[in-house]
Each structure stands twice: as C-alpha cells, then as structure tokens.
Amino acid sequence: MESVSGSSQLNKTLRRHYLDLPQWGKCQVTYIWIDSSGEGLRNKTRTLDAEPQSIADIPEWSATGFNQKHSDLYLIPVWMFRDPFTMDPNKLVLCEVLKYDRVPAESNHRTSCKKVMEAAEEHCVWFGMEQEYTLLGMDGYPYCWPKNGFPRPQGPYHCGVGADNVYGRDIMECHYKACLYAGVKICGTNAETMPSQGSSVWEFQVGPCEGIAMADHLWVARFILHRVCEDFGVIATLDPKPMVGDWNGAGCHTNVSTKKMREEGGLQYIEQAIEKLSVRHEEHIRVYDPRGGEDNKRRLTGRHRTANINKFLSGVADRGASVRIPGQVGHDGCGYFEDRRPSANCDPYSVTEAIVRTCLLDAEA
C-alpha cells in the first residue's frame, strides 16, 4: 500500500511566513529524550520567557511513560543546542529520563556512562562515531529501489555520485547543515556501499568528542536526521540489516583514543587496549546493539567488511576485523583505533561506557 508522509505534503512556502514572525523575546525550547525502547526519540516544546544562556537556565519538565501506575517521568536537561528548524533564539535540549522516584529509567544509560567517563577523566578519551543509516520510502522499502526486483549488485555506490548510484542526497546535505547550525560536532559524511544502496545508505561522522559529549552529540544528530526526513517524507532506519540479502549492513564504527595513544609512541597503548578488548568480546557484543547481540547477528557475518560475531579479530588497515588500526595510525605510530562492531542502532552511551570500562578502568563491560 502506498502511503504518504503528512508533514512533507504541506506547503513549505506558506510555512516560511509563519516561521518568520517575530516572537517578542520568547524562546521555544524543544525537549528531546530517549524513550523506553532505548532506540526511539521523543520530543515536546514549551515557551520560556527569555532565551536561556546555558543549560542551567532550562527547567526540568515531565513526560508520561507507559506504566499506568507511576507513569510520570522527569526530563532533566543535559545539553543545549540551537534549533535548526525554527532557528535562533530557539533551542533543542537533550534530556535524561528519571522515573517518578528520580531513579534513572531503564532506558537511561547516560547516568552510568557519565560516572565512568568521570572516573577516567585523566585519560582525556576522545571518540568519533560513524553513523550509517538507510533511507526508506513511506512504504518501508529502501528509498528509490526498483519495486520489482533489486538494484544492480553492490558496486559503484560507496562514496558514489550520480542519479543512478545514490538516492536521497538532499537528506544528507540538509542534515549536515542542520547539525552545524545546531552546534552538533559533525565532522563528515559519505554515501555507503550497502546495496540498498544503489545507495540509499548514507553515513555521517561525529567527533572527535571527549567523554560523555560523544553520545550526547550523536543522539541529537539522530534526532535532527529523523526530523529532516520528516520534512522530506522519507524514513531513516538505523536497523543494522534492513534488507535481507547480499548487501552490507549498517554499523556505527566507534573510533577511540586517549591522550597517551595520540602522543608519539602511542601505538603501544592502542595495542594494550585492543588486547583487553579481545578477552571481553562477548560482553561487548551484548551491549553493542539494543537486543543483547541479536541485531548484530544479522550484520556481523564475516562478510561485507565485517568480522564474524563469534570471533575477535584485529589488524592494521583491516576492514574485515572487529577492531582496526587505521593504516595511517600504523604508519605514524600513534593516533586511535576503530571498534567496528557496534550496530547502527546501538546506544552510544552503552558503547563508549563499555570501551572505557574495559580499556581504561579494568572493570566489567
């Protein structure tokens, strides 16, 4: 059944008139939070009398959870961004979710991530995450894929250009600009290989960000992605393997460095960290997707530039490894390493927390 996106059908020129109206010093603040699925994002907006100057100026708010009893949740603002949709002075604010008794909600992995980042503060750990996503039409089928059969086999799509190679570049470009406007630390973007991907698969990179900032920025970048897609009437899915078949899956490669790794001779610290990761492989797989490793089973097959989910492999410049040392880093003798295992729909709080626990705190993942 064909369906249309209500929002994208509305007249955007008309919308411009209303968005240009003055708001007399008032400020619209959109609160964003991760819902109980641990994957979905929610949002709602309120008016503040003045533009907040920092996160401290934004009050807590509440939301309604699923439970009948004790359904009230607290929204605790943690990071403020500019709103690229209604623009200055309006804000997007990422929130943590607490339950009615002010204990972190089950889906709130930020509280424990923050503790771990604070415990490892001396290491000045930086992350960079590569978010892959697949564009789907409103029918749930990869955007612009032929309705009868499949696109040409995987081939000229990675970093591709041309109407027959890549589909949906507007989304990528608008998302990129919107992230820059908002203050999200996006550092690049490219078309992907996935054969949904006569590429309707794309990637953007966020980072390097220190500590907790990595996951905060990535979650807001995801919110902006879904919101841009809403305007255009397409869907972005972070499912690691949205189409069964001989196509690449979608991941969220996580690049990591400490101060020592970035300095001359840092390669030995990178190798130490990888050694520690190698003996905790199963524990990491359990937190690298929202379903305890089940999602990644569909993706980490040992084919399509992945290592098999049951094996830990590492190597320099090896894209078939679980953890890769980039070629340039091997050459320079310092820099960072890349954990290629996290799924596109991973919770970056859980992923970065596990890496720091294993590599720097010698604690359970």
Q: Which residues here bind ligand ADP, judged by CB under 6 A?
A: 126-130, 187-188, 205, 207-208, 253, 255-257, 262, 335-336, 338
253 binds Mn ion (CB under 5 A): yes
Q: With left for phi above 0 and alpha for psi between -120 and 50, is residue 24 left, alpha or beta?
A: left
At position 311, the amino acid (one-letter code) is: K
The window from 126-134, 214-222, 239-247, 347-355 that contacts Mn ion (CB under 5 A) reads 126-134
Q: Which is nearer to Mn ion, 110 or 304 (CB)?
A: 304
203 binds Mn ion (CB under 5 A): yes
Residue 107 CB partners (closer than 8 Å, separation 6+): 34, 35, 36, 37, 38, 97
- State in angstroms the smallest separation of the CB of 338 from Mn ion: 5
339 binds Mn ion (CB under 5 A): no
Q: Which is nearer to Mn ion, 130 or 295 (CB)?
A: 130
Sign of the torsion angle spanned by Cα atoms 78, 82, 84, 87? positive
Tell me the C-alpha distance between 84 and 228, whole Å: 10
Backbone angles phi, psi at 14, to 5 degrees: -60, -40
Q: Can you say how many angstroms the Cα of residue 72 is from the centroid of all Cα atoms in its chain?
A: 27
Residues recorded for the chain: 365
- State in angstroms the smallest separation of the CB of 203 from Mn ion: 5
Within 10 Å of residue 265's Cβ, how many Cβ atoms? 10
DSSP output for 109-126: -HHHHHHHHHHTGGG--E
Beta bridge partners of 237: 134
The window from 26-34, 124-132, 240-248, 278-286 that contacts Mn ion (CB under 5 A) reads 124-132
103 binds, among ligand ADP, Mn ion, none (CB under 5 to 8 A by kind): none
Per-residue binding letters, 13-52, with Mn ion (x by CB under 5 A): ----------------------------------------
Which residue has 């081939």 as its token pair? 155
Q: Which is nearer to ligand ADP, 249 or 335 (CB)?
A: 335
Q: Which is nearer to Mn ion, 81 or 312 (CB)?
A: 312
The window from 4-12, 165-173, 196-204, 353-361 that contacts Mn ion (CB under 5 A) reads 196-204
Q: Are 252 and 287 in contact (CB under 8 A)?
A: no
130 binds Mn ion (CB under 5 A): yes
The residues that touch Mn ion, with contacts defined as CB under 5 A, are 130, 203, 253
